[in-house]
Structure 1
Amino acid sequence: MAVCCAALALTLGSCATQKNDRLTTGSVPSVNLSKPIDSMTAPELAVAERSIGAAYDRNPKDRTTGLNYANILRMNGRNTQALAVMQQVAIANPSDREVLAAYGKAQAAAGQLEQALVTIGRAQTPDRPDWRLYSAEGAVLDQLGRSDEARRKYRIALDTQPNEPSVMSNLGMSYVLSGDLRTAETYLKSAAALPTADSRVRQNLALVVGLQGRFSEAEQIARRELSETQAEANVTYLRGMLAQQNSWAKLADKDKAKQAQATN
């Protein structure tokens, strides 16, 4: 289903200006960057890719440079190259949990979902569990269609890190993928209301609101706290997805059927 595929893309990224990076496992330190990678526009990402790529070429074994470079490549949609970079970083840092988590993220973005689960599992340790890894694992399980397992991982993450907006957003998007839009909106509204929520959470909320036919409200949410260029790109992306009326109708019918079953 086209809209479901678009929703899944938002679980891993945001809208048009933030591709394939919603599988958050912690922020990566910047290397001579003027702003966080996740908040860069497309032209800024292109400049960053060139500068960090040059630094990576000079020293491909540098952990921080490799992490940043792979992150930027994913944001630019170059998932295969990002995976190749992370393979090298993981070889040089085989026991580094952050590196393993980022490697798993790169595998998932490149479509290697089962391998990503194994890698993320290697990064997790029972004595020092990391909520980010539980959330990352949940996102991969959702892509594999194992929604019940995914939601258990999200709830474990929330037990460890209560009211974490990125995890609540992933949990909400999990319900989008199964067609339960009202439950999805509940989680996403709660996540978006938290002071630490970022624009990606609000863009996911905009998608869910739009999928329920409230297009003006969805556009208002999509435009908040973004530059004009980013806002226009995200609204255009949102409109494009919501224009897929056949897919929207299927999701809406599935949602109504669930609600009818609940009241019978």
Structure 2
Amino acid sequence: MTAAKTSAPLSTMARAAIFICLAIAVTGCASTKRDNDNLTTGSIPKVSSAPLDGMNAVELAATEKAVGGAYIRDPKNRDVGMRYATVLGMTGKHAQALAVMQQVAIAHPTDRSVLAAYGKAQAGAGQLEQALATIGRAQTPDHPDWRLISAEGAVLDQLGRADEARQKYRMALQTQPNEPSIMSNLGMSYVLSGDLKTAETYMRDAAKQPAADSRVRQNLALVIGLQGRFSEAEQIARQELSQSQADANVTYLRSMMSQQNTWQKLAANDKARSATN
């Protein structure tokens, strides 16, 4: 089954799953502190360069205000603009994030990092075809960047082009073997098409990698929770989240599944797929 052929209930589930992942990031459930994360690259005057993934909603709001002020003072500053757009995207202000990145891209039209961030902002704002073109311009065929290849896959998945998306993820894995973020994206591709068992396999492999971060493990918890195995999902979530954060995420997941009756439909879908194979 491909994402383009996904039934209405599965499409609803997939969108909800994405929103849960975004909610996890905004509430500060991830604890990644990678020094080479492009969210923290560069010198940002008078603005904290602390990793954004570890911030809660209050911290993100304060960062948005501070970085927004710096952006107003110097709208052509590459690093300030990229960080501001990232914060805006994390707080759901995708149209504004896109507007910021448009200005940054005008000031830095050949900067690969800027083009990649611009493509991400376009995808966040729903401009998926434009995002593919922008990411393509950022890529260098003689020395391809696996992050951009994986980003192409994520956009293709959103367009319902699952087979092409998975080809991109596998290409990225050839360049960067066992990279957990790529494996997690590949797993999410199968979530979007309703194949949760295959998704869980990739997520578990991703979570076992030494470089796996909290976001990867929370995606694993998500996939397990979507199959109705809430106690197992909670156990994974509580290994890294505070009691209140884990409770909030699990409560939201249970509420969504109860309203949509989605995980039962997914389980039936998996059984039907197994019976025909």
Instruction: Answer whether TM exceeds 0.5 for this pair.
Output: yes
- Name the aligned partner's letter for residue 118 of structure 2: Y
TM-superposed deviation, 1:97: 0.7
TM-superposed deviation, 1:221: 1.4
Q: 1:68 to 1:198 in 2, by over 3 A?
A: same
1:48 is the counterpart of 2:57: no
Matching residue of 2:189: 174
Gaps of 5+ in 1: 20-24
**RMSD of Structure 2 on Structure 1 (CA):** 2.0
- Indicate the larger mover: 217-226 or 92-101: 217-226
Name the CA distance, whole Å, in 2 between partners of 1:132 and 1:38.
18
Matching residue of 1:39: 54
Matching residue of 1:242: 257
Name the CA distance, whole Å, in 1 between partners of 2:37 and 2:144.
14
1:15 is the counterpart of 2:24: yes
- Aligned residue for 2:267, secondary structure, equals helix
Q: 1:150 to 1:197 in 2, by over 3 A?
A: same
TM-superposed deviation, 1:165: 0.7
- Aligned residue for 2:209, secondary structure, equals coil
Matching residue of 1:86: 101
1:103 is the counterpart of 2:113: no
Matches within 5 A, 1:110-121: 110-121=125-136
TM-superposed deviation, 1:228: 4.1
Name the CA distance, whole Å, in 1 between partners of 2:49 and 2:134.
31
TM-superposed deviation, 1:88: 0.4
- Indicate the larger mover: 34-43 or 219-228: 219-228
Cα deviation 1:196-250 (Å, max 9, x = unaligned): 2122111211111112121111112122223444334333332333323432232
Greater than 4 Å deviation, 4+ residue runs: none
Name the CA distance, whole Å, in 2 between partners of 1:240 and 1:16.
19
**TM-score under structure 2 normalisation?**
0.86
Matches within 5 A, 1:146-161: 146-161=161-176
Aligned length: 256
- Aligned residue for 1:61, secondary structure, equals coil
1:225 is the counterpart of 2:234: no
- Name the aligned partner's letter for residue 15 of structure 1: I
- Aligned residue for 1:213, secondary structure, equals coil
Matching residue of 2:33: none
Name the CA distance, whole Å, in 1 between partners of 2:146 and 2:96.
27
TM-superposed deviation, 1:16: 6.1
- Indicate the larger mover: 195-204 or 26-35: 26-35
1:4 to 9, 14, 21: 14
Name the CA distance, whole Å, in 1 between partners of 2:109 and 2:20.
30
- Name the aligned partner's letter for residue 72 of structure 2: D
Native 8 Å contact 2:94 2:125 kept in 1: yes
**TM-score under structure 1 normalisation?**
0.91
Native 8 Å contact 1:3 1:244 kept in 2: no
Q: 1:124 to 1:16 in 2, by over 3 A?
A: closer
Native 8 Å contact 1:14 1:203 kept in 2: no
Native 8 Å contact 2:186 2:202 kept in 1: yes
